Structure 1
């Protein structure tokens, strides 16, 4: 199927890669770059220098490897071009920016940023690299628009190791949420059209990221841990027993006002959960003017988690909402489901264009490879969005209606 699509889209792809010729100061890398992107989109068993070179008709992998390792061009300029291309083809004011990280498992110690760290794919500690990604998501389509390589402190504290890997001296340690903030700053500076920021609990638990959004009046739906410190519901509904997110679970059970709604579509159809929401205040944090905060609880339909008592319980997830006061619960639930779009982008980039199957070890080649993969899948997202059947269906985004947040939904029982 991919080969057929590439044949149909050859002219569009050639136009896209041709428009990026200004990134290179010589004609040879322009040609090889176009061949590289075509190869990433082709049906090849593995996407490496040798297979890409063979497809392009090269006798050796030298030119493909030189494109990443030795030629003169700026991967950040390509990143900006990818972002502009995605926004041009998918952009709309109600878009979401979705934050997540993904890993590439590696052997040895020389690949830039590699260390024994948590690997989301396997759920345990592996020798891997971690990349923090930013997806631009709309009902029409979604694609990566930015990336940052996470460097553990064991790297940034060893400047000689950094220089050997080509890491610029000005690059210092930054947490994953700090890398996410840097990408959001760049998106704001580029005037990217969007309305919401979405992230899982690995980012939502970070107060610095939350305050960044408060200061800029950015609505968000962030997963948060069960122990997120709360001051309880605001005003007369404040209750001294509510000190953390999971304290509200008791009131949710007493109130028993769960609503069953979908939050989007998955491989098996609608993703249905039970939902309930509480207005809350977070310790030492103020929302933006005109904004409110809610804690949204999502409960699975069937027991799927074994508790400390040995019994199976329905899993509950917590989402902190920062949004204008008139935002509807339906919109919030739809946004909560939208975070999965970045997981789809991670999977598509790894399986289709070899995002994690690179043969580069240093800082600059890593950014060139990853950004080229982003361009390849951005092209696919744009072409898919152009199909008539890809036009947004108002019933397909998991939003079954617009139900305001009412005083009843804010009560604690």
Structure 2
């Protein structure tokens, strides 16, 4: 083992030992250690059985049962483990640039069948279409170097939430009732604030940005945001204000709806952007892999439309209209200060790309999408363990100089040599999993 590998090994052992105190029982320490190790080691599949073959090739069956019970049945707290992960890793994230943003996202995991908890035909971002999948709502803290999920909860479709038989089979807690994805995200944000996590600018795509109640709640909580919206979102143009509600006649409820009339009506952000074609300027927000990322942007001060007596505050409308496109391609509403520069506004709006890159690592390299169980507890335990393993890599990367390798290039946690005669960890341990017979080697016959 090289000196560098021994150093990683030692830091991994210390990291896991520090997290083990959040598990509630000493006999969970070994399976916790092995599960995290299995997630970090190279392997095509990070479900329980292949990981058991990696970490304990001499006793795969016993290790498989141990890990299976630990992730699917053991009664340890996801919240306590994630809190300890934050304690260990957020200081490193803050040293590498501070917490610049909180990113709301949802992560789709394609799934066959109908029995896995929360599975339904719904939009799956990984596939880019409607399909059978599970969807988890996440909250991550981020800067330009990395992002760390601090909350991860399965979205339970209404049909699932109301089906007591399926809930019981999947072990869904009685306290979990139907909530929309923006409502779940808002709960996660309130918990993060209560836990004292350093706040950042809230970023999200249009599935969350178009929710006026979420935007209002973020403002009420003292948080600023840059949230994508759809092209049909309506705003009051600059220098155009809604008319006040009609005077009360003295009968019934006092009128509260703001009035609209000729010359006093909100318009879509798309129509407003098209009318401001001369306002767009070229902005470069970061270096891409081959070339600087550049596009055309405009920022306008607008008031989001709402039919209520209390006016919504004026905020930024940021619009992206790339050169050569027939119309704008992106829209954001933002409560960042009025004196912020256009370049800084664009930079924060585009920072949401960070979560896309990191979730690719989480799903493909660390096995977030590989869990094969069906229950509520196992789904969340696996996500927590994946985040814990990924957080170790974030901390390792933060200790490297800026010119060093990226997270995907950090050496994996070393593994001891496989004993002679032990099963090959690269293969499944049961013959029935190998549906295709092995091909005969092509070689010339000997003399």
TM-score category of the 2 structures, normalised to the smaller one: 0.7 to 0.9
More strand by share: 1
Q: Which of the numbers 200, 206, 210 marks the counterpart of 2:211?
A: 206
Q: Quick one: which of 297, 313, 318 aligns to 2:319?
A: 297
TM-score by length of 1: 0.85
Counterpart selection for 2:183 from 178, 193, 202? 178
Give the equivalent residue in structure 1 for 2:150.
145
Number of the residue aligned with 1:306:
none
Give the Å deviation of 1:324. Answer: 2.4
Any idea what the Cα deviations from partners look like across 1:238-278, whole Å, max 9, x if unmatched?
9646422112122222xx12111123344443221100011
The CA RMSD measured in Å over matched residues stands at: 2.4
Could you tell me which runs of 5 or more consecutive residues in structure 2 were left unpaired when the two chains were aligned: 244-262, 405-447
Give the superposition deviation at 1:78.
1.2
Q: Which of 69, 90, 93 matches 1:90?
A: 93
Task: Give the aligned partner of residue 369 of structure 1.
Answer: 382
**Residue 230 of structure 1 is aligned with which of 219, 224, 235?**
235
Aligned residues: 376
Q: How does 1:356-395 map to 2 (within 5 A)?
A: 356-389=369-402
Is residue 261–residue 272 contact of structure 1 (8 Å, CA) maintained in 2? yes
Spell out, residue by residue over 1:199-242, the C-alpha distance to the aligned partner (whole angstroms, 9 max, x if none): 11111001111011111221110000111121222468996464
**Shift, 1:357, TM fit:** 0.7
Q: 2:273 aligns with which of 243, 249, 273?
A: 249
SS of 1:116's equivalent in the other structure is strand
Match of 2:140, SS state, is strand
Aligned to 2:34: 35
The aligned counterpart of 2:254 is none
Map 1:18-97 onto structure 2 (within 5 A). Answer: 18-57=17-56, 58-60=59-61, 61-91=64-94, 95-97=100-102
4+ long deviations beyond 6 Å: 3-6, 236-239, 285-288
Corresponding residue number in structure 2 for 1:345: 358
Structure 1 unaligned runs (5+)?
304-312, 392-413
For 2:234 and 2:374, the matched residues in 1 are separated by 41
SS at structure 2 position matched to 1:117: strand
- Residues 1:246 and 1:11: Cα distance change in structure 2 (over 3 Å): same
Question: In structure 2, do the counterparts of structure 1 residues 56 and 250 end up closer, same or farther at CA, with 3 Å as the change threshold?
Answer: closer
1:308 matched to which residue of 2? Answer: none
Q: Does structure 2 retain, via aligned residues, the 8 Å contact 1:196–1:218?
A: yes
Distance 1:187 1:123, change over 3 A: same
Q: Sort the Cα spacing of 1:251 and 1:240 in 2 relative to 1 into closer, same or farther, 3 A.
A: farther
Deviation track 1:304-327 (CA, whole Å, cap 9, x = no partner) reads: xxxxxxxxx254211111122322
**Distance apart, 1:8 and its partner CA:** 4.1
Contact 2:236 2:265 in 1 (8 A): no
Q: Could you tell me whether the CA contact under 8 Å between 1:118 and 1:125 is conserved in 2?
A: yes
Deviation at 1:135, TM superposition (A): 1.6
Please, what TM-score do these two structures have when normalized by structure 2? 0.79
| Secondary structure at 2:346 match in 1 | helix
In structure 1, distance between residues paired with 2:5 and 2:216:
44
Deviates most, 132-141 or 110-119: 132-141
1:274 to 291, 296, 308: 296
Q: What is the 5 A alignment of 1:113-128?
A: 113-128=118-133
Closer/same/farther in 2, CA of residues 267 and 27 from structure 1, 3 Å limit? same
| C-alpha contact 2:121 2:133 (8 A) present in aligned 1 | yes
